[in-house]
Structure 1
């Protein structure tokens, strides 16, 4: 699987295939059962097995208007960066080309991966953090971390 080291490359991919792309924070496709038909996540509160991989869409919502796609992608990566801290350093973001099959308990998309696209490098995450800080200030935005 390739590794994206430049946010511009991700933005270009979203322009081309946005509706099919999702970001997943995990140990990767092998750990998630991609390729063996056992793709599922677990609800962390109850332990219930979910019918797909918990992931976040990269498709741009209509309400985003003509705002920069670069900021949209940065926001989508920024929002869930706390998952590495909570689940361990081997957890990384990676791109899924797939389809939504259901919704999880937090209304997150549950996705079946048709093709793992690539890892997202730490330098891209740092660039996303800088963009978000410049756009609106991280002190007002913050990650989607329930425990903070």
Structure 2
């Protein structure tokens, strides 16, 4: 409800009361089922894969976690696309602190990290490489299948 109230004014522009959104979300979570091997199951935590609201709600939820931590720790750069994040900090120690704080933010959310190699660090469809002088270069990257 907290996130709904943050955007209360925008909702009311469309004559949508925050309570309606809250009630709608509760209904979705209570009737959250999925099918596996021709048998129906109730999803107990989160949303079932394939639920059209799942990506949007995941982005909103993770954004809330990240915003608090980013404001406190102030990395040089923090980029995210869906569930891929690219972070630049002044030191490796700051990066470790940020990573630890993100993983401590919620018991059901686990962030993973990928360390750069001499070839760089893949992010989305790019490979990003940093040179000794601080310059960066990007090349196309395709994950091995």
| Higher strand content, 1 or 2 | 1
Over alpha carbons, which structure has the higher Rg?
2
Please, what TM-score do these two structures have when normalized by structure 1? 0.23
The structure whose RCO (Cα within 8 Å, separation 6+) is larger is: 1
Bigger proportion of residues as helix: 2
